[in-house]
Amino acid sequence: MIRACCTEPIGATFGGSGLGVIVALQFFNAQDWQKALLASGATIGLMFGPLVVMLIARWGIRVNRAASVLFMTAAPGFCLAAFAPTLNVFMLGVLAGIPLLTAAAPLITAIWEQNVPSTARGRVFSQVVIVSAAVALCISLLISFVIRDDIERFRPIFILMSLLCLGAAAAVWRIPTQPVPRSRHHASPFSSMRLMWENRMFGYLCMGQMLLGIGNLATIPLRVEYLASTDRGLGHSAGLVLILTVAVPEAGRLLSTRLWGRLFDHMHFVVLRLTINLIFAASIVFFFIPNMICIITGSLLFGIATGGGKIAWSLWVTRYAPPDKTADYMGVHTFLTGLRGIIAPQAAYAALAVLTLQQVGWIGTALILAATAMLLFVLPTKSDRDHAESA
């Protein structure tokens, strides 16, 4: 819980539509490709998931120790960004910090698999998320208050994020874990990708989530563009943009997480994923209607969907992976997440050359609905539900 209370505020503040993009837009006057690259920062690290798992398996390093080292080495990046005199230095700092945090994602899932029984995993995970989301909400409101209408006040916030990285490193070091068992899936960083066709249901769900992720991640950075840009959007202040893109979604996530945790323990994953997808699609539709009530509604729905998505994204491989292969399965999942996280923002900003923000939003919604339609073909029946859960 202490580890999550340190990392969740960083994720909330520097997600695809977070502070890094706002600073790049309003302080450094960044170009579209630079904003897209910053928006991809968190997902770049996810692509290193299979490499991280392979290395710690080969070297016999305990899962918690490896995660702690990654968190510790992320701290200097945020310090560099805090004192950055130019956009290039700022980008270097952010892109040296955020990816190291997210590269630990397969390790965090392995920690949960090793320490919490499957029957209570969703419930216990949701309890941790609720507390950490409350902390993230308070910190995001504090950041919004500090910045208000002057984006030049961003520097102390990056120093705070550096300290949170060190706090997370200290906390995760204390969690008991075992090394990842070495197997043939560790011959190279991409050997674990074969799991997608060895376990066909896992592979099919990965492909469906690829469509979902591209549709969702393409629209997340555009939320900042839509709210903050004076040329393309509504031209709101940085403080208001942070409230609408960080604080309101965090509130929605906080309110819904406990319910999502219980649903994860008792609902078939395909049904759960389908429900989350539909809420994500609705959030995009509402958000890009130029009306403050609709924007707040879309932002709140996005937070509610993120509450379920956080649990599903972090734990779903435990439904389909053997216990000793959890980190390998998660490495595949995080790599694909990172891949779409790089593709989606770049494609979205490129599309703005010929399309409006709202039109790109509709395309993102269509991709999410296509991913949802894929799930209809693997909905469980009463006779095969148990088999699907243990596949």
Per residue in 113-156, pLDDT (tens digit) is 889 887 788 888 888 888 888 888 788 788 878 877 777 888 88
Q: Among 206, 84, 162, 61, which Cα is nearest to 53's?
A: 61
Residue 179: φ, ψ to 5°: -65, 160
User: pLDDT value at position 243?
Assistant: 86
User: pLDDT value at position 186?
Assistant: 66
Tokens encoding 350:
């490129």
Q: Is residue 279 part of a domain?
A: yes
Q: Is residue 80 part of a domain?
A: yes
Q: Is residue 186 part of a domain?
A: no
CATH number at residue 292: 1.20.1250.20
Distance CA 275, CA 282 (A): 11
> Could you tell me which residue, 361 or 387, shows the higher pLDDT?
361
Burial class (CB in 10 A: 0-12, 13-18, 19+), 330: buried
Reported as a pLDDT band with limits 50, 70 and 90, residue 388 is very low
Distance CA 106, CA 88 (A): 30
Q: The pTM is what?
A: 0.74
Distance CA 8, CA 18 (A): 13
Q: Is residue 184 part of a domain?
A: no
**Which residues span the domain enclosing 81?**
2-178+191-389
pLDDT in tens, 8-28: 888 877 765 567 878 888 888
Alpha helix positions (H), 105-154: 105-115, 121-147
Q: Is residue 369 part of a domain?
A: yes
Residue environment code for 5-34, b if the CB has 16+ CB neighbours within 10 A, otherwise e: bbbbbbbbbbbbbbbbbbbbbbbbebebeb
Q: Is residue 90 part of a domain?
A: yes
Which whole number is the average pLDDT over 270-274?
A: 92
Q: Is residue 266 part of a domain?
A: yes
Distance CA 142, CA 356 (A): 33
pLDDT in tens, 278-324: 999 999 999 988 899 999 999 999 999 998 988 888 888 888 888 77
Q: Is residue 7 part of a domain?
A: yes
Number of domains in the chain: 1
User: pLDDT value at position 382?
Assistant: 53
